[in-house]
C-alpha cells in the first residue's frame, strides 16, 4: 500500500467513524424523546385525584404552555418545581417524580405532564 493510499484509508475510516458517531447521537436523542412521550408500559401510572391540587394543575399547565424557544422543549426547572408540588400533594410515585426531575429532553406530549392535565 502506498503512503497516499494509506492516508486515504485513514481518512475514510475517520469519516465512517464520524458518521457512526452522528448516527449514535441522533438515535440517543430519539430514544430520549420516545421515553418522554411514552411511559413504561410495564409500570403504568394511575393518577390519584388527591395529587391534582390547584397548584399542581397550574404548574403543569404552565410547564406545558411556556416552552423553551426555539427548541420547544419543556423547561426542566418548571418540571422540577412541578415534581416538588406533586410530592407535597402526596404523590409518592417514584417513576413520575424522577421523570419530571430528569434533565430530559421533555417535549410537548411528555407523558407525566399530559397525565396530570388529562390529555390523551
Would you say residue 98 has pLDDT above 70? yes
CB-based contact 89:49 (threshold 8 Å): no
**E strands within 46-105?**
none
Q: Could you read off the pLDDT of 30-59 as tens digits, one per residue?
A: 766 666 677 777 777 888 999 999 999 999
pLDDT of residue 104: 81
Q: How many domains does the chain have?
A: 1
Higher per-residue confidence, 12 vs 87? 87
> Which residue, among 34, 39, 33, 26, has the nearest Cα to 98 in the 3D structure?
39
Q: What letter does residue 75 receive in the DSSP assignment? A: P
- Rounded to an integer, the average pLDDT of 53-79 is 93
Backbone φ and ψ for 73, nearest 5 degrees, come out as: -75, 155
Residue 5 is predicted with a pLDDT of 65
Domain that holds residue 41: 3-117
Percent of the chain at pLDDT exceeding 70: 81
Find cell 493510499 and name the residue: 5
> Which three-class secondary structure state does DSSP give residue 23?
helix
Determine the pLDDT at residue 117.
94
* Burial class, 95, CB count within 10 angstroms (exposed 0-12 / middle 13-18 / buried 19+): middle
Using the predicted structure, report yes or no on whether residue 101 has a pLDDT greater than 90: yes
11-36 pLDDT tens trace: 676 667 766 777 776 777 776 666 66
C-alpha cell at 77: 426547572
Amino acid at each position: 500500500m502506498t503512503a497516499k493510499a494509506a492516508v486515504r484509508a485513514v481518512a475514510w475510516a475517520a469519516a465512517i467513524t464520524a458518521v457512526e458517531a452522528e448516527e449514535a447521537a441522533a438515535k440517543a436523542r430519539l430514544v430520549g424523546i420516545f421515553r418522554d412521550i411514552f411511559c413504561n408500559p410495564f409500570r403504568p401510572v394511575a393518577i390519584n385525584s388527591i395529587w391534582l391540587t390547584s397548584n399542581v394543575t397550574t404548574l403543569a399547565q404552565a410547564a406545558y404552555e411556556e416552552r423553551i424557544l426555539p427548541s420547544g422543549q419543556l423547561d426542566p426547572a418548571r418540571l422540577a418545581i412541578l415534581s416538588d408540588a406533586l410530592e407535597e400533594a402526596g404523590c409518592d410515585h417514584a417513576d413520575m417524580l424522577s421523570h419530571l426531575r430528569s434533565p430530559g429532553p421533555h417535549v410537548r406530549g411528555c407523558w407525566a405532564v399530559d397525565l396530570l392535565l388529562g390529555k390523551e
